[in-house]
Structures are given as structure tokens and as C-alpha cells.
A and B are shown apart, each in its own frame.
Chain A
């Protein structure tokens, strides 16, 4: 251990490894168990994110200021007003608009509504910095169905989401607003084509287009309830930007940083499980083969010869078609084809150790074969075994990434290889979605480097001739 940390590469490797482990543990604790299927592969959850948006920090290097996605939710302070026969709840969302472009979309999501007799009404109004305000949208929650008993519950299982930018009612409201305030005649259809948000967050530039109106906006969401026990559980208003988060999004609007973080424990799992099991099998078979000799030796050696010479990739492609793409199957195959190399090496080491005095001396004591093999021979191969284990870890991670890149990965879990592959599939390299291609690539390289650095630092431990003179 001391030897390991005495070298520069050992220190860096150990620091990186500890970071990897801490991130992985954090992710395992923080992420839900079935993250892959329920969250990552569920497009509904990512609908409110801009698609293929670069990271928001790119604004720092850009002359034009891009809009960051803003999400407003009905969790803050609300104003309650009593009206005859009804209660009005008003949420005011303040938006300081400083970007040089219109939002890529705006959306409203309503969830968990329940009412007794009259359906609640939800209305969205935008108050602009120039003092004008637009009644954008009004939602009357669907009425009772015949035979349904109160309380009427709506939008519990599936939230109601409306893309305001593409909604004909919104277009018509904005069209009226433009006609009245700016005397600009424009049809609903034209407005939908040009983009409703261009008009909502801008003023006509006199050229048939709009220019962005910067300043403080207030988005006001009114909820009108007709009964004391009526409620609207959750409201969400989103102003979609063109930059997002730390690492941007993919074509489904998925936050890449979330997927890449999840890749940490997955990569470590693949790397460590594969290398530990491979090394274990390789060591045991190598020692048994070398020590027992005879038929046992022949069987193990022929088996490893065969496995070592079967090309792995065609087998994997074949099995991916037959059995389906499964992470555990991939690990299993990497293990099944990974051990023979080590077996052959360990066997040759054991042949040398076996002819030494120690084995003979231990035999004289009456020790059993298994005791000689695992109590006396194994410790002599242990340093080499551990170094091999660390060396083979990045190999397994890289193998999984390559398979994913070929489209043979497990589609239910985001791995770095798969994020890389989907970026590539969507033309990321040609279109320039660098934030989709570089981070997973870099993470794979850094993780592999971590283990290579550790193995380099372990080299002197394994090979005393490389030890530095103190």
C-alpha cells in the first residue's frame, strides 16, 4: 500500500479511484432502483427539457445570449382570493428575460386535480415588461362522465401537459393581442408557423418578424375552484431554452449529466465484477492445472485453448440476437472468455513454484493438495494476480463500451458506451453535438486511465526489480 502511494501515478490513480467510488455510491443512494426503465427510457419525464441543447455554460463563450430553461412549479407562495361561490388561487412566476432569443417552447402541466361538482378552471396570463398582458390559455378541467361519482379525480395517473407554443387556442389569443396592441394582422396559422413564443416574448420588428423584448415578465397562473374541498395538486410552467444544465441534453431532451452520472456505478460494476470473477476463475484453474498436472491439466488447458481462440465479437453479436441484449449476459460472456489468458500464465508460474523446495517441504508435513495450492502456492502468485485484476478492469469497461457502441449494449440502462452510441447514431459527430459525444468518451478514457495508473503503480510491488532504491 505504501509502495503503491509512493509513486506519482499511484497517487493520481488512487485519488481518481476514490472519486469514482464516492460518485458511484452517491448515485446508488440517490437514484431510484429501476432508473433505467422507469426514468431514463421514459420520454414523458423529459418532455419539458429542450432537445439537443448544449450545456448552459456555453453562454460564457457565446456573443449571443441563449435562454436557459426555466421551470416554475406551484410549490411557492400562492395568493388566495375569495370570490362569490369560488376561490381563486393565483401563482405569480417572475421571469427576468435577458436572452437574445425567444423560448424554444413553453408548456403547462397540470396534475392531480379533484373536484366536487363544477370543474376548476386554470388560466395562464403573461404580463410583459411593456405593461401589456396576454391571456394566453384557459383550461377547463374535463367534466364528470355519466355515472361517475364525486369527488372527480383528473390527471392523477397521467399529468395533463399542453405545449403552449403549438396550441391553436393560444395562437388565436396571441393573434388577437397583436391586432389590438400593435395593429398587426396575422392569422393563427402564420403565427403557429412563426412561433407563438416569438410574439409573446417579443415585439413586432416591423419587418413581419419579432424581436425579443427583454425585461421582467410575470407569468400568472389562476386557478378557480368552486368548492372548499376542490384541489389542484401540481402546476408546472416551463419556458424552454436552448441551453441546458451542466452537460446539455439529447434528442429526447434527456439531461445527459443524469445519464452520465448513472454510468459511474454501472461502469465500476462491469469493470470490477468482470475482473474479480475472471481473475478468480483464472487463478484457481491456473493453480489447479499447474499443480495437479496429468489429466486435470490437459482438460483445463484444452478448454482454455478453445475459449481463448474463439472470436468473441461474433459470439456476442450472435447471442445478442438470440437471447437479447442484457448487461448481465454481456458480463457473463466477458468472464467466460476472459479467464483462459490468466490460467495459462498462472499455470506456468505454478509449474516453476511446484518444482521448488517449499512444495516438497510442505508435502513432507503431510499437507493436502488443496492446502499446498491455496495456502502456499497462491500467496506467491498473489501480487501478480492482483495486478492482473486491476489491469483487466479497464479492459472490461472498454469491452462493454465497444459493444454498446456497436449497438449490442443493454438498452435498459444508460452506460457511457450507450450514450456515446446514441450520440453517434443521431449524427452528433457531423452536426456537432460535442456535448453528447465528448463527455462519455472522456469518462471512459479517465476511468480506464485510473486503473492503468493504479496498475502502473502496482508494478514495482509485483516486480521487486522495479522497486526504487530508498
Chain B
């Protein structure tokens, strides 16, 4: 393989850890007045090697910002970000390049996240060029292999094409191939299927899952779609207003939500059979849940809920 893994993967080891990370933006209101927008407000979480963590929550809950923080695309206002127990919170741009070679991202919008002026081959080759890996011939082989991995076959047919010639699903495969070409250990996937036709969604998710299994990649899967989170992830963290309110193994959190926000979120999932709708809705507790700075409490092994009182 052209791009070697630096560390052999091991179960249970930590990939990324966030410690009380806060990301506050200053928003200008009028000429002199500014307010602070707390996009992420004191989040601690960890993603193990080869683990898929789903980050769910409504729009504006801060999940995308959190995803960006794990890649150090943003520098947090406070808190620490550790990658393999190494602090990368205050790394300079130049030193980040090494780190960037080992983590990748798949973005929500396959239309705007790939360069429309490059052909597919150039797009997928670019990470190798940036990190100066291989010679022309080796790169070509590796790019073709990666295109095959994401089922853009035969790769020769796609290499010379430009993004506007492809469908949304095919473009997202290009985006995945670009993320995969450096053989990363961690991928942040920000709503990777939300802008794709329903018909291609499952294929893309299956592809991601298969790639995750064969390459043992740690994933942060950001979504507002509980159903795919359950299908795709090992663990789920629920975000609400910049904080994690519930976190635990996917099965447990989705089957038996404890926080009232999680319950509402799960209840909002549309039911395939509309006749069941009212029955489902009636289960929802409309009572308020704790919005204050409540700490996460371990309710059962590996299942944390904010402000839970036994």
C-alpha cells in the first residue's frame, strides 16, 4: 500500500479526545454592540480507534462546529484537543500538516466541497501531491485503486471527467475517495448523505461502513438523522445548544433514551406508516429537561446523561 499507517490500530485505544472544549464566536450587533455565540460550550468526548461515534442533534446545536474542532479547522476558545494523547490545540498551521495527513473529512455538500475546475483524477490525487507521496506512476495506481474502492469503476472512465458531469451520489464518492486516498485513521463525516438523493443514500452509507470495517477508520458521523445513526454508529452523542446531553452505545441511547431532549428527537423521526404516528407521539414526554449547565452522569455503564437525578 502506498500510504502506510503510522500506528497499528488497536481496539480500545484513544484516537481523539476533547476536554471541556469551548468555541465562542463574537457576533457584531450594531456598531458597538457585540454578543457572544456559544457554538460549543464545554464538550468532552472521545473517539476510540476504529470506532464510529454519531453526533446527533438539531440544526444549530453545534455539531458541525464540534466536527470542525476535531480536525483543528477551528482553534477552540478554551479546552484541549488531543490526537493520540498528543495536544494539538495550539499547533501552528505549518505543524498541522503532519496531523492533516492522518485525519480527513467528508462534507455535506458534494457540489461545493470539490473543485469544479479540476477533473476527478486531479481531485483525488491532490492529497498525495500536497503531502508529496509517491511518483507519478505510483500515484496513478493508488488513485485508481481508491476510485475502485469507492465503486467508481472502471476508474479510467471517471478520471478525466469533471464534477459537473457526475450525479450527486457519484460526487460524494469522489469526496470519499479524496478523504480515503491518504489512508487516514480518522474521518469526520459531516452529514455525508443529507444532500444526496434518497436512492443513493443507502449505497453511500454501506460504502462508508464497509470502508470503515476494511480500513478500521475511526469516524465521527455528524447527522440529524437518528435512523442512519443507529445503523451506522457504535456510539451516539446527542448535542443540544452546544452541549452533549446524552451519550452512550447506539442501541441503548436510541432504544432507551433518558434525556427528554433525546426522547423528543427520536420521536420526531418520521414513521414509515402514518397510522402509527399518534401512537408514537403520545409516548413523548413534553416536560422540560434541564437546560442549565448540568454535568453528565453515568447512569449505567458507558451511558451518560446530563442532569440525571436518580
Q: Is the CB of B130 within 8 A of A366?
A: yes
Q: Is the CB of A364 within 8 A of B114?
A: no
Contacts of B158 in A (CB 8 A): none
Count A-side interface residues using an 8 Å CB cutoff: 17
Residue of B68, B73, B115 with most partner-chain A CB within 10 A: B115
Q: Is the CB of B105 within 8 A of A364?
A: yes
Known: A371-B130, A376-B115, A379-B117. A361 touches B105 (CB 8 A): yes
Contacts of A367 in B (CB 8 A): 126, 130
For the complex, give the distance between the alpha carbons of A367 and B73 in Å. Answer: 12
Contacts of A361 in B (CB 8 A): 105, 107, 113-114, 175, 178
Q: Does B112 sit at the interface, judged by CB under 8 A? A: yes
A367 smallest CB distance to B (angstroms) = 5
For the complex, give the distance between the alpha carbons of A360 and B72 in Å. Answer: 11
> How many residues of B sit at the interface, in one of the four size bands?
20 to 34
B131 smallest CB distance to A (angstroms) = 6
Known: A360-B107, A361-B107. A366 touches B113 (CB 8 A): no
Q: Is the CB of B97 within 8 A of A366?
A: yes
Q: Is the CB of B115 within 8 A of A379?
A: yes
Q: Does A314 sit at the interface, judged by CB under 8 A? A: no
Q: Is the CB of A358 within 8 A of B112?
A: yes
Q: Is the CB of B130 within 8 A of A365?
A: yes
Contacts of A366 in B (CB 8 A): 96-97, 100-101, 127, 130-131
For the complex, give the distance between the alpha carbons of A351 and B206 in Å. Answer: 37
Which residue of B has the minimal Cβ distance to A382? B117
Q: Does A380 sit at the interface, judged by CB under 8 A? A: yes
Q: Is the CB of B127 within 8 A of A360?
A: no
A residues 312-370 near B (Cβ < 8 Å) are 356-358, 360-369
Please, what's the 1-or-0 string for B63-105, where 1 marks a CB less than 8 Å from any CB in chain A?
0000010010100000000000000000001001100110111
Which residue of A has the minimal Cβ distance to B96? A366
For the complex, give the distance between the alpha carbons of A360 and B105 in Å. Answer: 10
A residues 375-409 near B (Cβ < 8 Å) are 376, 379-380
For the complex, give the distance between the alpha carbons of A362 and B182 in Å. Answer: 13
B205 smallest CB distance to A (angstroms) = 20
Q: Does B109 sit at the interface, judged by CB under 8 A? A: yes
Q: Is the CB of A358 within 8 A of B73?
A: no
Known: A357-B112, A358-B113. A365 touches B73 (CB 8 A): no
Contacts of B114 in A (CB 8 A): 358, 361
Contacts of A365 in B (CB 8 A): 100, 104, 126-127, 130, 178, 182
Q: Is the CB of B130 within 8 A of A356?
A: no
For the complex, give the distance between the alpha carbons of A368 and B97 in Å. Answer: 8
A365 smallest CB distance to B (angstroms) = 5
For the complex, give the distance between the alpha carbons of A369 and B113 in Å. Answer: 17
Contacts of A376 in B (CB 8 A): 115, 117
Which residue of B has the minimal Cβ distance to A369? B93
For the complex, give the distance between the alpha carbons of A362 and B105 in Å. Answer: 10
A174 smallest CB distance to B (angstroms) = 81
Contacts of A356 in B (CB 8 A): 112
For the complex, give the distance between the alpha carbons of A362 and B126 in Å. Answer: 9
For the complex, give the distance between the alpha carbons of A362 and B113 in Å. Answer: 8
For the complex, give the distance between the alpha carbons of A371 and B93 in Å. Answer: 14
Q: Is the CB of A358 within 8 A of B104?
A: no
**Which of these, A357, A368, A371, A380, contacts B113 with CB under 8 Å?**
A357
Contacts of A371 in B (CB 8 A): 130
**Which of these, A357, A368, A369, contacts B107 with CB under 8 Å?**
A357
Q: Is the CB of B126 within 8 A of A364?
A: no
Contacts of A368 in B (CB 8 A): 97, 130
Q: List 17 A-B contacts (CB under 8 A).
A: A357-B109, A360-B105, A360-B113, A361-B113, A361-B114, A364-B73, A364-B100, A364-B103, A364-B104, A365-B130, A366-B97, A366-B100, A367-B126, A367-B130, A368-B130, A371-B130, A376-B117
Other than the given A358-B114, A360-B105, 7 more pairs (CB < 8 A) read: A357-B109, A364-B103, A365-B100, A366-B130, A366-B131, A368-B130, A379-B117
Residues of B within 8 A of A (CB): 68, 71, 73, 93, 96-97, 100-101, 103-105, 107-109, 112-115, 117, 126-127, 130-131, 175, 178, 182
When A and B form their complex, which 3 residue pairs have the shortest distance between CB atoms, in order from nearest?
A: A366-B100, A379-B117, A357-B113
